[in-house]
Amino acid sequence: MNKVYACIDGRATTTAVIDWAAWAAQRLPAPLELLHVLERSPELPNVGDYTGAIGLGAQEVLLQQLSALDEQRGKLAQQAGREMLEAASLRAQNAGLPVPATHMRHGELVDTLLELEPELRLCVLGANHRASGPRKLHLDHHVESVIRALQRPVLVATSEHFAAPERFVVAYDASPTARKMVDMVAASPLLRGLPALIAMVGADTAEAQEQLAAAAELLRVAGFAVQTKLLPGEPEQALPELLSTQGAALLVMGAYGHSRIRQLIVGSTTTTLLRLSELPVLILR
């Protein structure tokens, strides 16, 4: 359980995924490995029964042609995957890492990562958005599926460009999962040396201030410089507004749970914060 896997797919965030994975591998430190999954092609379309109209053998010929096209498409996908992995390996080496192992697998990304999970320390992948209408963006299904399935930390690159973080923001809600998340941050070398901001959304009460202070103390004991901020309003509005002011930063958050903050990340119907945040997101369990 000591490898950083960069999941690359050739889409817009691929170079950012490689750069984030290289950054993480150097800080942990841990070996970097590159993964490209060739997902199963959809079944051949049903060409229907036109034998009475176009001849007895026409349907068989069409199926043979479709099969040949599918085979050619598979070969091209494999060639493109190999070239992508070679380019990614070179980029990682230019970042100062030794030659990373590369893997090209057939199947589904989630299934592949579950097989690799025993040796996985951190999974890095990109959040590729798609538009369903003006100003309305949705994530592809891979991000949510991976976060739901894996019990390991996941770092999501939410933009096409990498910038080494100068600080990190912890979205905190004082739940047992959130306290465990802070403990993990304190114990890991990944973020060591970076200043921390612990942000909590809710009413400004003595209890909330005490909860923030306790979380901050955990990080200060581990050597972090820590600030805290209690934000009024709704998490889906307050947190993105805060994150937009943080410059080169990393958002750290727990996955799952019943609190409204964590439902933003992997809720049953929404991934609001991942859609709205321009900052990369580190999701811990």
Instruction: Name which of 24-38, 45-59, 103-117, 230-244 the model is least confident about.
Output: 45-59
- pLDDT band (50, 70, 90) for residue 278: confident
Question: What pLDDT does 256 receive?
Answer: 54
Do both 178 and 132 map to the same domain?
Answer: no
The structure's pTM equals 0.85
Residue indicated by tokens 């841990």:
30
pLDDT for 134: 38
Q: What angle do CA 212, 217, 221 make, to 5 degrees?
A: 160
Both 131 and 190 in one domain: the answer is: no
Please report which residue ranges of the chain form alpha helices under DSSP H: 14-27, 51-54, 58-94, 109-116, 141-149, 176-187, 206-221, 235-243, 260-266, 272-276
Within-domain flag for 52: no
Please report whether residue 221 resides in a domain. yes
Mean pLDDT, range 193-217, rounded to an integer? 95
Is 276 contained in some domain? yes
φ, ψ of residue 26 to 5 degrees: the values are -70, -35
Using the predicted structure, report yes or no on whether residue 263 has a pLDDT greater than 80: no
The number of folded domains in the chain is 2
For 277, the domain range is 163-284
Same domain, 109 and 72: yes
Query: Of 144, 162, 180, which residue is a domain's last?
Result: 162
Q: 262 pLDDT exceeds 80?
A: no
Q: Cα–Cα distance between 246 and 279 in angstroms, integer?
A: 9
Answer whether residue 258 shows pLDDT above 50.
no
Rounded to whole angstroms, what are the CA distances from 16 to 39, 91, 124, 237? 21, 11, 10, 26
Shared-domain flag, residues 191 and 155: no
* Domain match, 179 and 247 both: yes
Cα–Cα distance for residue pair 218/278, rounded to 1 Å: 27
CATH number for position 242 = 3.40.50.620
Domain identity same for 65 and 192: no
Mean pLDDT (whole number) for 162-171 = 96
The string of DSSP letters for 77-138 reads HHHHHHHHHHHHHHHHHHTTPPPPEEEEEES-HHHHHHHHGGGEEEEEEE--EEEEETTEEE
Q: Mean of the pLDDT values across residues 144-157?
A: 90
13 and 151 belong to one structural domain: yes
Query: Would 103 be classed as within a structural domain?
Result: yes
Q: Are residues 146 and 248 in the same domain?
A: no
Residue ending a domain, choose from 135, 162, 189: 162
| Predicted pLDDT at 233 | 87
Based on the domain organization, do 7 and 112 belong to the same domain? yes
114 with 20, same domain: the answer is yes
Residue 144 lies in a domain: yes
For residues 109 and 168, state if they share a domain: no
- pLDDT of 140 reads 61
Does residue 124 sit within a domain? yes
Residue 190 confidence (pLDDT): 97
**pLDDT on residue 147:** 86
C-alpha triplet 197, 259, 252: angle, nearest 5°:
30
User: What are the Cα distances from residue 45, in Å, to 12, 63, 67, 77, 276?
Assistant: 29, 9, 10, 19, 37
For residues 157 and 149, give the distance between their C-alpha atoms in angstroms, rounded to a whole number: 18
Contacts of 264 by beta carbon, 8 Å cutoff, 6+ apart? 235, 236, 239, 270, 271, 272, 273
Q: Which residue, 137, 162, 187, sits at the end of a domain? A: 162
- 191 shares a domain with 144: no
pLDDT of residue 269: 32
- Is 89 domain-assigned? yes
255: in domain = yes
HSE, CB side, 13 Å, CA atoms: give it for residue 201: 19
